[in-house]
Structure 1
Amino acid sequence: SAYPTRTGTVNQIESVIDRISTDSNTRRAVMTTRAPVIDTQLKEDIPCLGEMHFRCLEDEDKTLVVNLTTIWRSRDLFKAWADNVIAITYFGRKIVEEIANRTGRETRLGGYTDFSNSLHIYGQDFSHLEKDEASSKKGFFDVFPNVESYVKRSWDSETARDVEVLPQMEAILYEPLWKFTDSDIQTIRGEIDFLKNGGKP
């Protein structure tokens, strides 16, 4: 969120929250990871995520509904897509929470849409998707012959939270690799409690 400039950085998270809190009809609540001065010099690892757009509307109950759209250069469907979606929508909820705090209005996260210019599965991962007659393992496309069948088997946010997100957050507290400070640990514990409480403070 800290966009690099010659004189420092720009806090894009604060900008998005401020724009929507000040004018809920704004079409300017946008974040970018693109930095041409830097990106054009990189031979690898240009950011996959390019832009995040936050668009706020009112529903029939006058609740602010913040819809989120992301634009991606490249995505790994097998290893990254699901984790990306969980992280991005969680991030969106934190933005919405702060907008609600500042405006004093009921606010919720609405729809999430993402566009991927290159959504792919790498060759080395095909073995995880292929049928194995010896073990009776079905192939990915046998289990999910179309998009609808895949979506039906997808987790909702609550299931993903309980099965994947919370266990990983609790485990990471004890990994020495990250060298968390006491303040970091307190923040993570606060987020864990927030999620366990159904997204309520």
Structure 2
Amino acid sequence: MHQMDGKRQAMAVALAALAGFVDASGFIANGGYFLSFMSGNTTRLAVDLARAPGMALVPLGLIAGFVGGVALGALVSGWAGARRKAAVLGLVTGLLLTGALAEMAQIRAVAQGAMVLAMGAMNATFLRDGRVGVGVTYMTGALVRIGLGLAQRLRGERDPGAGAALRLWAGLAVGGITGAACWMWLGMVTLWLAAGWAGLMAIIAHRWIAPDRTPIA
């Protein structure tokens, strides 16, 4: 991430914050299941299989939806070419709007499905050479980079990537705190805020981020 320009770095942090916002609010609303943290859902899958096998369908479905969202985002990214960031974020916006409408209609399964698809698709925002340049919905790699950077600091060296990883993690954490608080105070209005946030990011990507010239595959 530290090799990207300032605008792209800021966008990555803002998207990580959006992921935290959606994940924390969804965690409260969905009884302890995640919308973007699939490692957590994998653990829930294992626990549910051991304790209540019938419940294992929930994390399994969320994991499948996330993978499907990544695939959908990658397809849209490839179709959109140089303006792929705006296109992917437009897709994310539409999925979050669908989730908000479904939640309003009390169709919880559709709401969950649309939102987990959105979180998967958002990881296609920074595709480069067929790989995810920055994973904006999961932070294990960022925390590992922070730890490695700390080790280098203790040796008297400097790792410029550690600071970027710290900003990315902080974005997710602040977004999560905000999302949890909004859900507690505002309920389903939180989903409309998330969709608006994604829509704003799509506009920013279209108007202020230079077109991508690097191939995605």
TM-score (norm 2): 0.26
Q: Which of the two has higher C-alpha Rg?
A: 1
* Higher share in strand: 1
TM-score (norm 1): 0.27
* Higher share in helix: 2
